[in-house]
């Protein structure tokens, strides 16, 4: 179903395609843990363009393509002619002559879309200012592992900045029919167009999506609570101001006392302890949060195998 396609946004996927990725990731995880070879991308090459920093995305994509029998090329925009002004549409058409797939982490979503338009090979969004689809697909896998497969019975809360993670959670929850309550300050809401698109997807799946300014209201009886940095990459200069504005949105024990008794906490990492999350909450949930980090590997292997391969 996904063969030859791009992964630019969860909104572009059908619900069946989302489940296909999750099921494939779960299978690849079992195979890897039991030492079974799964060289589904033997001889294939993934180019990985980074215009922002990364630990998890870079390492999990590079290890993932290697485990699938292929090769990953780390392409820093500082070293590419792209960084000296070569147009994305030319870069796209050149790279498509050498590679079998491209993963890109950049600022504007429009840049990823332009790359995908001009490169006739699969393009995977490894994070933009607007979206982080690979991370949210990973989080859905992690939720399934820790809370069961029935997303429709689950209530999730996202507390903090209405950023690329929030936008992708809205798209992810909408596709699988999960309840998602988002709490952000009034001026830091998720992207309005994304919210509208997600609400329209939700009509088909029955997902309940809502926004509030009140973090306690958002986490009430939640099974899953997620947060993320208050200052995303590119917003470093706003960090001090944001720390003051977001202080009431810290995920701490007091806030969690309003959630369901067995609630789990997700964080895509990197985490800033003492800001969006306290050290004790992160450490109490380390078993989930580092499963989440590990699952980047399995989920992205599934994305690569399904888009760049022939399964
Ligand atoms: N969560 C995530 O994308 O981490 P990196 O920025 O380290 O890739
Ligand atoms: N919202 C964060 C996510 C980092 C993985 C950022 O864009 O920096």
Q: Pick from 170, 179, 165, 224: which is nearest to 201 by CA?
A: 170
Length of the chain: 311
**Residue 62 in contact with residue 69, Cβ under 8 Å?**
no
Three-state secondary structure call for residue 73: strand
> What are the beta bridge partners of residue 264?
224
Q: pLDDT digits over 177-198, tens only?
A: 999 999 999 999 999 999 999 9
Q: For the chain, how many helices (H) and strands (E)?
A: 12, 9
Model confidence at 311, in pLDDT bands (50, 70, 90)?
confident
Three-state secondary structure call for residue 49: strand
Q: pLDDT digits over 274-288, tens only?
A: 999 999 999 999 999
**Residue 226 in contact with residue 169, Cβ under 8 Å?**
yes
Whether the upstream peptide bond of residue 270 has omega within 30° of 0, thus cis, is yes
Nearest-CA residue for atom 2 of ligand 2: 232
State whether the beta carbon of 31 lies less than 6 angstroms from ligand 1: no
State pTM to two decimals. Answer: 0.98
State whether the beta carbon of 232 lies less than 6 angstroms from ligand 2: yes
The alpha carbon of 54 and the centre of ligand 2 are apart by a number of angstroms equal to 9
Helix (H) or strand (E) holding 225: strand 224-227
In this predicted structure, the answer to whether residue 73 has a pLDDT above a threshold of 90 is yes
What's the pLDDT at 310? 76
What's the pLDDT at 77? 87
State whether the beta carbon of 233 lies less than 6 angstroms from ligand 2: yes
- Report the alpha-carbon distance of residue 311 to residue 308 in Å, rounded: 9
- What would the mean pLDDT of 158-186 be, rounded to a whole number? 98
Which residues are known to be catalytic?
A: 105, 132, 135, 228, 268, 296
Nearest-CA residue for atom 2 of ligand 1: 56
């Amino acid at each position: 179903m996904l063969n030859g396609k791009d992964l630019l946004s969860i909104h572009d996927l059908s619900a069946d395609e989302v489940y296909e990725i999750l099921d494939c990731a779960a299978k690849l995880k079992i195979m890897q843990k039991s030492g079974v070879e799964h060289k589904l991308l033997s001889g294939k090459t993934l180019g990985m363009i980074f215009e922002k920093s990364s630990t998890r995305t870079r390492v999990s994509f590079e290890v993932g393509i290697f485990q699938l029998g292929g090769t990953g090329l780390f392409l820093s925009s500082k070293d590419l002619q792209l960084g000296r002004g070569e147009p994305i549409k030319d870069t796209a058409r050149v790279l498509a002559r050498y590679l079998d797939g491209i993963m890109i982490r950049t600022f504007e979503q429009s840049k990823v879309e332009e790359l995908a338009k001009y490169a006739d090979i699969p393009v995977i969004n490894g994070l933009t200012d607007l979206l982080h689809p690979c991370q949210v697909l990973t989080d859905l896998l992690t939720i399934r592992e820790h809370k069961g497969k029935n997303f429709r019975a689950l209530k999730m809360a996202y507390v903090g900045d209405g950023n690329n993670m929030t936008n992708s959670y809205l798209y992810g929850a909408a596709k699988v029919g999960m309840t998602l309550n988002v709490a952000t300050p009034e001026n830091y809401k998720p992207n309005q167009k994304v919210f509208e698109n997600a609400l329209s997807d939700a009509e088909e799946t029955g997902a309940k999506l809502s926004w509030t300014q009140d973090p306690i209201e958002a986490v009430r009886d939640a099974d899953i609570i997620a947060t993320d940095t208050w200052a995303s990459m590119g917003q470093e200069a706003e960090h001090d101001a944001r720390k003051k504005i977001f202080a009431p949105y810290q995920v701490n024990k007091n806030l969690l006392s309003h959630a369901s008794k067995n609630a789990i906490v997700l964080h895509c990492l990197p985490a800033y302890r003492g800001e969006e999350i306290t050290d004790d909450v992160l450490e109490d949930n380390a078993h989930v949060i580092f499963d989440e980090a590990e699952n980047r590997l399995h989920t992205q292997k599934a994305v690569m195998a399904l888009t760049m391969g022939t399964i």
